Amino acid sequence: MNKKIIILMVAVGLIAVAAIIMFNQADKTSKTGNVVSNIQNNKSDDIVPAAPESGVNNTQDGDNADVVPAESKDNGAAVKEFIMTSFYEIVDGQPKPQYSLKEITVNQGERVRIKITVTKGSHDFKIDEYGVYADTQLNQEAVVEFTADKAGEFIYYCTKPGHRANGQWGTLKVLAQ
């Protein structure tokens, strides 16, 4: 057999093995419970480090228990907190990336904290109008916090190729005061 064909077959085989290993790594669930803050925002005063919390009900792979546990106080200001997971499911043989919360509603002027945990796959989180971005890592909680100072409906989404188009987005509704 031609040497070029053999080298090509070996390269394709190595790429396939690497892809299988990466896919299997994405499916593993961490048992450590570590909380990591991973925030990028255009306002430095909007960055708040994450802290471990007990009693928070994080669910995995689309369970519908990602509802806000309570409002908390931070530096005297009320913070409306939301917890969501980011994952994918296989639907009709195709991956369907998504967030567990499809809609978040707040009042204009409220501080908003969104905690995102990737439970399956590789994802991130972005809200263009608020300059919010979080590079979310598998089994680590990323936290974004901002003041909802603009009324309207805004799309939050994953910027990974094909994810938004395949349904990984939701709506932030900010009600005017």
Q: What is the pLDDT of residue 14?
A: 75
Q: Is residue 124 part of a domain?
A: yes
One domain, residues 60 and 15: no
How many other C-beta atoms are found inside a 10 Å radius of the C-beta of residue 79?
16
pTM for this model (two decimals): 0.61
**Which residues share a beta bridge with 173?**
105, 153
Domain that holds residue 12: 1-30
- How many structural domains does the chain have? 2
Q: Is residue 52 part of a domain?
A: yes
One domain, residues 138 and 167: yes
Residue 49 has, within 13 A of its CA and on its CB side, a CA count of 2
Mean pLDDT of 58-77: 44
Q: Is residue 25 part of a domain?
A: yes
One domain, residues 155 and 93: yes
Q: Is residue 108 part of a domain?
A: yes
Q: Is residue 155 part of a domain?
A: yes
How many other C-beta atoms are found inside a 10 Å radius of the C-beta of residue 162?
10
More confident residue, 172 or 47: 172
One domain, residues 24 and 63: no
One domain, residues 100 and 74: yes
Helix (H) or strand (E) holding 112: strand 111-118
Give the residue from 147, 148, 165, 164 showing the smallest Cα distance to 156.
164
> Across all residues in the chain, what is the average pLDDT?
76
User: Which CATH number is 104's domain given?
Assistant: 2.60.40.420
- Among 30-44, 53-67, 76-90, 117-131, the range with the most confident prediction by mean pLDDT is 117-131
One domain, residues 72 and 25: no
